[in-house]
């Protein structure tokens, strides 16, 4: 076990009741709750120069949310719900940024956020019962409670490809996109990655690039988003039905405003099933996977959806070889995060777009002028776009050097994979709360729903501690062990682990332990578990006065 290093700085620390790391959806709401509801002194430390978290950094072409706009927002304020109006079915990155800036100003949050401040270390001082954090600039802050609101997909995964440093063109990761954009006009562009991000970027880059070469390692399903401006009737429906929409989102497994149909794919004849899938395809979006209740638990049921979606790809893509590569999908539908798209497959019918199968011939190296694959083929490029995803869930937490009781570092405690109680706390790290941490539904849920539940639970917990004169709360090791078993059991009850190369399992980052990280038992069930734990006096946590 390595002991956490000591803090570098000697400057006195600025003292608060609570420190929050990150000013995305989570950090903003956590600040509001602790400051305005509980009356605590709180400070948000944010690496970026503005609010938005994941959305602040992900400015790539086509960046858009996969949750429908009327469900991708806070629900805690009736006034906020009434005054904000989304323009499209799926909100684009700039509109989400406008929304989060509006929330920040409306609730006067900006004055308690320190921007351009990257947290590098966090130490728990047992005698003082306080966390001290240090920033890249050597500033120090201390607080009783430390809350990480660092997001699940905020540590970029840039594959270590030999020769990248010598590339004479430009290269970018989609999650660290230049704020003033990238002009692809007349350029030969290579894009690596066909996850949700890559699938959004391809059609937009193809519009201006001279040529776009897409390097695909794993073929992917995608459902049309059918994005469009919202009609006045729908906007009115949303305005008049906030409580019912919120109640619906709270009742579903994924926090989306649609329920999973209570029927098996086996209940219907092949013709009836086809009609269901056609209707879901025409409707578009993530709701496709809600067509039958057994799509994620029964392989034969899943095959019916997978076959339909592969057939759609072959119908849309005209070149049979390209269609074959795009539809050669090796995992059941929705066992990796299912993308939704705007003309993704159709874009391969453009003369300026081509597909390279890097499962068959992996990328060998980057040269000063392009990419070489193992079969010796060379691709001359002016720009390389890495749509290669993230060191998900644990990456953002482990990028901070966090040490708890007895100087134990989080890196050591999680060396074989993350271990949490409810995804909210780690044994050995008192008064540290992890919003949407590993072991919680997080990325399997519509994120604002998961975030509001966590932030509210943490706020109620801190209120309870202060009301009872409790100085410290810490997950017990036993409760965390039991929860890790529960998280594994929940994943194993589904088909999700069959996608053995997914980022849910950490398999996209070389050397990362393969552990299924999010809780797959459903958001509604999870909310109930968290409520029960609190009602039983924070069962599984050790509270000390």
Task: Catalog residues that contact ligand NA7 under the rule CB under 6 A.
Answer: 153, 159, 192-198, 215, 217-218, 337, 358, 363, 387-390, 443, 501, 503, 508
Shortest separation between residue 343's beta carbon and ligand NA7, angstroms: 17
Between residues 152 and 301, which has the closer beta carbon with respect to ligand NA7?
A: 152
- In the bound complex, what is the minimum distance in angstroms from residue 428's beta carbon to ligand NA7? 30
Helices (H) and strands (E) in the chain, counts: 16, 20
Rounded to a whole number of angstroms, the minimum distance from the CB of residue 337 to ligand NA7 is 3
- 259 DSSP 8-state letter: P
Task: State in angstroms the smallest separation of the CB of 338 from ligand NA7.
Answer: 9
Give Cα 352 distance to the centre of its chain: 32
Give 142 or 453: the residue with its C-beta nearer to ligand NA7. Answer: 453
> Which C-beta is closer to ligand NA7: that of 176 or that of 300?
176
| Residue whose CB is less far from ligand NA7, 142 or 388 | 388
Q: Work out whether strand 130-135 and strand 119-125 pair parallel, antiparallel, or are unpaired.
A: antiparallel
Beta partners for residue 214, in sequence order: 191, 355
Give Cβ neighbours of residue 85 (< 8 Å, ≥ 6 apart).
235
> What DSSP character marks residue 133?
E
Beta carbon nearer to ligand NA7, 167 or 215: 215
Q: How far is the CB of 52 from ligand NA7 (least distance, A)?
A: 15
For tokens 């290669």, what's the residue? 388
Q: How far is the CB of 304 from ligand NA7 (least distance, A)?
A: 23
Q: Which is nearer to ligand NA7, 13 or 174 (CB)?
A: 174
Instruction: List the one residue out of 455, 476, 473 whose CA is nearest residue 465.
Output: 473
DSSP 34: I
Nearer CB in complex with ligand NA7: 80/158: 158
CB 209 within 8 A of CB 187: yes
Minimum CB separation from ligand NA7 for residue 256, in Å?
13
Element of type H or E holding 272: helix 270-283
CA atoms within 13 A on the CB side of 65: 28
The bridge status of strand 340-341 relative to strand 401-403 is unpaired
Nearest residue (beta carbon) to ligand NA7: 195
Dihedral over Cα of 339, 309, 255, 244: its sign: positive
């Amino acid at each position: 076990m390595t002991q956490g290093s000591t803090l570098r700085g000697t400057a006195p620390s600025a003292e608060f009741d609570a420190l929050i790391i990150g000013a995305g959806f989570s950090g903003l709401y956590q600040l509001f709750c602790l400051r305005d509801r509980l009356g605590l002194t709180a400070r948000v430390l944010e690496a970026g120069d503005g609010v938005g978290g994941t959305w602040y950094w992900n400015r790539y072409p086509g960046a858009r949310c996969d949750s429908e706009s009327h469900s991708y927002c806070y629900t805690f304020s009736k006034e906020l719900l009434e005054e904000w109006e989304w323009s499209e079915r799926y909100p684009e990155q700039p509109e989400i940024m406008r929304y989060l800036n509006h929330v920040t100003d409306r609730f006067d949050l900006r004055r308690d956020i320190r921007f351009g401040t990257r947290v590098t270390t966090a130490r728990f001082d047992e005698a003082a019962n306080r966390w001290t954090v240090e920033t890249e600039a050597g500033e120090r802050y201390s607080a009783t409670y430390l809350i990480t609101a660092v997001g699940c997909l905020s540590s970029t995964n840039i594959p270590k490809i030999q020769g990248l440093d010598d590339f004479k063109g430009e290269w970018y990761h989609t999650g660290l996109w230049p704020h003033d954009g990238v002009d692809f006009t007349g350029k030969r562009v290579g894009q690596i990655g066909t996850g949700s991000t890559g699938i959004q970027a391809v059609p937009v880059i193809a519009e201006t690039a001279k040529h776009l070469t897409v390097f695909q390692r794993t073929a992917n399903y995608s459902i049309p988003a059918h994005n469009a401006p919202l009609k006045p009737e729908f906007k009115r429906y949303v305005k008049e039905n906030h409580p019912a929409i919120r109640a619906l989102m709270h009742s579903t497994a994924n926090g989306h405003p649609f329920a999973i149909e209570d029927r098996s794919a086996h209940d219907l004849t092949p013709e009836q099933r086809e009609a269901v899938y056609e209707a879901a395809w025409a409707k578009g979006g993530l709701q496709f996977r809600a067509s039958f209740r057994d799509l994620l638990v029964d392989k034969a049921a899943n095959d019916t959806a997978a076959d339909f979606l592969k057939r759609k790809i072959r119908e849309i893509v005209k070149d049979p070889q390209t269609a074959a590569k795009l539809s050669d999908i090796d995992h059941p539908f929705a066992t990796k995060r299912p993308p939704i798209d705007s003309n993704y497959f159709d874009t391969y019918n453009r003369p300026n777009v081509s597909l390279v199968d890097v499962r068959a011939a992996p990328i060998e190296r980057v040269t000063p002028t392009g990419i070489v694959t193992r079969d010796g083929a060379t691709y001359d490029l002016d720009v390389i776009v890495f749509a290669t995803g993230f060191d998900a869930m644990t990456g953002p937490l482990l990028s901070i050097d966090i040490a708890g009781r007895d100087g134990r570092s989080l890196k050591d405690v999680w060396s074989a994979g993350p271990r949490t109680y409810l995804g909210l706390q780690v044994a050995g790290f008192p008064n540290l709360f992890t919003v949407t941490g590993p072991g919680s539904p997080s990325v399997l849920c519509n994120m604002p729903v998961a975030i509001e539940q966590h932030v509210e639970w943490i706020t109620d917990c801190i209120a309870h501690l202060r009301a009872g004169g409790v100085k410290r709360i810490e997950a017990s090791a036993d409760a965390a062990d039991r929860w890790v078993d529960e998280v594994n059991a929940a994943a194993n009850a589904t088909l999700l682990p069959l996608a053995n190369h997914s980022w849910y399992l950490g398999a996209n980052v070389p050397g990362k332990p393969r552990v299924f990280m999010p809780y797959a038992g459903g958001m509604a069930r999870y909310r109930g578990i968290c409520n029960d734990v609190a009602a039983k006096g924070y069962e599984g946590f050790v509270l000390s006065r």
